[in-house]
Amino acid sequence: MSNNKRIFLSSPHMSGNEQKYIQEAFDLNWIAPLGNNVDGLERELADYNAINDAAVVVSGTAAIHLALRLLHVDLDDTVFCSSLTFVASANPILYQGATPVLIDSEMDTWNMSPLALERALSEAKADGKLPKAVIVVNLYGQSAKMDELVEICDAFGVPVIEDAAESLGSTYKGKKSGTFGRFGVFSFNGNKIITTSGGGALVSNDKEALKKSRFLATQARDAAVHYQHSEIGYNYRMSNIVAGIGRAQLEVLDDRVAKRRAIFEKYREAFADQPGFDFMPELEGTKSNRWLTALTVDPEQAGISREEIIEALNNKNIEARPVWKPMHMQPLFDGVKYYPHEEGNSVSDRLFEYGLCLPSGSNMSDEQQDMVIDEIKSLLKK
């Protein structure tokens, strides 16, 4: 079976209803930032996630940056952040001139370790320098242990920013992902479970804070007839056209979650008896959107390495990738303080060494997924 059309890790999947909202923006000649689609998407996002308010912006990164501004993170402050994540989770800490402290994962969720976090906060308190915030990331759609993490942060009086860029549509104990911290962050990048091409959102139960975020995101323009500015602002608000795409995408979010979960289950069943293949777990009481199907491949048990799988798939025009390279291993964060799960046991190092992401797009056909499975199985037979 030949495959000329590239199978991507996660490509955009349009609903077919996007043009209706885009046309409405054109008909109203409201194509700049702000407008009916921006208002509509914010309202619908807040309703979907059962949270008081949402502010849509140009990216998830922008949303994290605004959250840090709202929490008054500044020069010489520290911010704790999950180490096993994409760099966008941590970069905004540097935008503010603050210092990141990186926290390891644990195996139940692949997300922030409550053990490591408590140790890090205890040391910070003893040093008289608690962080201004903790950024908890929900990797590949799976919620972190939010009850434990929030409880620990509350005990130290430190606010949580929940980076749910990859977990829109997931739930934790019946509550929507992204709604556990002081602020939650979503991404609508081109590869996410729903997309606006580029975009993101900041969500919170604190309506006043989100009102301030909109002010900061529109160049922090004071209430004056002339252009007057008393503090630093940004050009972060989403355009009305892009928001129209988002409204149509949000309508099919639950369908997209169902499809990605089905893709994950098909992979898991296909390799259920394969030694050395361990799929990303789903914490009891949670429902992951399974944005990407992720697993670890132990070469000693499996007989093949992750690199061999990636190369073999790439030769068939199929995209697969390692899991995120942890921030504490990145040149950018060389010398930054890092707290492993336990002394001498860095979980994220092992996940990076063996972790693999397989094509998981909701527009992937059964035949395309069979191609991926067959290619890996033929490699295993060799």
Catalytic machinery residues: 192
How many residues are present in the chain? 382
The SS3 call for residue 124 is helix
**Contacts with 127 (C-beta within 8 Å, 6 or more apart), sequence order:** none
Nearest residue to 74 via CA among 98, 91, 57: 98
Q: DSSP letter for 317, please.
A: T
* E strands, the chain, in order: 53-57, 78-82, 99-103, 133-137, 160-163, 171-172, 175-176, 183-187, 200-204, 277-279, 286-287, 293-297, 321-322, 338-339, 355-358
- Strand 183-187 vs strand 160-163: parallel, antiparallel, or unpaired? parallel
The SS3 call for residue 380 is helix
Q: DSSP letter for 32, please.
A: S
* 159 contacts 131 by C-beta, under 8 angstroms: no
Burial 38-66 (b: 16+ CB within 10 A, else e): bebbbebbbebbebebbbbbbbbbbbbbb
Token readout for 172 is 């934790």
- Tokens 């935008």 locate to 95
